[in-house]
Amino acid sequence: MQRRYRIGTRGSKLALIQANEVARRIALASHAPVEEVTEIVVISTAGDRVQDRALSEIGGKGLFTQEIEEQLADARIDVAVHSMKDMPTLLPDGLIIDCLLERADPRDAFISLTAGSLAELSAGARVGTSSLRRAAQLRARRPDLEVVPFRGNVDTRLRKLGEGVADATFLAVAGLTRMGLAGKITAPLSPEDMLPAVAQGAIGVERRAADDEAAHLLAKLHHEETGLRVAAERACLAVLDGSCRTPIAALAEITGERMRLRAMILTPDGREIHETEREGLAADATAMGEDAGGELKGRAGPDFFDTV
């Protein structure tokens, strides 16, 4: 009898789109109708329930994963689908992510109803974001702009923008594209203008480490290049012990067998920035990430993260 996989996910529109894409691919790999081999299980997380405060004030990235991972560990679901940029670097004992779908565009999108680009925003304009990474890079490049808090799902943030709560905002290109909202993008931001979040644009599928049957199936879904890029970025993040309280950005890109990794840490006010870059064999992704993270940590000094 064909196994039916219970797929745990957050309940946002984007999360459901991502979970259903994983379900579709599981069905293809199983050579069976999607409704026969998958079931979507929506799980409410603290990060979704608390919308009036910044994530950095209430606990960081784990707020989007804890309840889902608890159900995975207890075998109430079989796999969990996550946006990898939301994942802490340390996973609970007994859980593993070794399946990543092909990464979408990792860039940030600039969205405004009044300006055609970030450079065109007038001094004093309000930019809405709840991301310390985006806010810190914005303050470093445009200290003349005002940053205002902006939480909520994609639709909520676009609605707030339309209501004039802010003059501009940033969202991930990948999320907007998956939701069919690429037309809302005023301009994509190059990594030189806004280095993306670690693993932005990548979808990961988490499973129990001891579930060999799921491991065999998910191996068919895994995209190797994405795995290497995400490994480099997350290795850098792990060395820095980063969380939502720390503005950290990284992007790994692969051409042929070679990888280029750029990484950055900032103070939230954008006044202190440390950047580094690595180039090498993509097969050495994890070592490159760890080396880059170690350099940034050494250059920033022992008090940098305490100050943050």
Active site residue 86: yes
Nearest 5°: CA angle at 212, between 210 and 213? 135
Rounded to an integer, what distance in angstroms lies between the CA atom of residue 81 and that of residue 19? Answer: 6
* Amino acid of residue 300: A
Which of 52, 74, 86, 303 is catalytic? The answer is 86
Rounded to an integer, what distance in angstroms lies between the CA atom of residue 84 and that of residue 38? Answer: 21
Q: What is the DSSP string of 225-245?
A: HHHHHHHHHHHHHHHHT--TT
Q: What is the DSSP string of 82-110?
A: EEGGG--SSPPTTEEEEEEPPP----EEE
What burial class does residue 79 get, using C-beta atoms within 10 Å of its C-beta: 0-12 exposed, 13-18 middle, 19+ buried? buried
- HSE-up of residue 290 (Cα within 13 Å, Cβ side): 4
User: How do 248-255 and 258-266 pair as beta strands?
Assistant: antiparallel
Judged by DSSP in three states, 165 sits in: coil
Q: Tokens 């940053």 correspond to what residue? A: 147
- Burial letters 225-247, b for 16+ CB under 10 A, else e: bbbbbbbbbbbbbbbbebbbbbb
Any idea which residues carry the catalytic annotation? 86
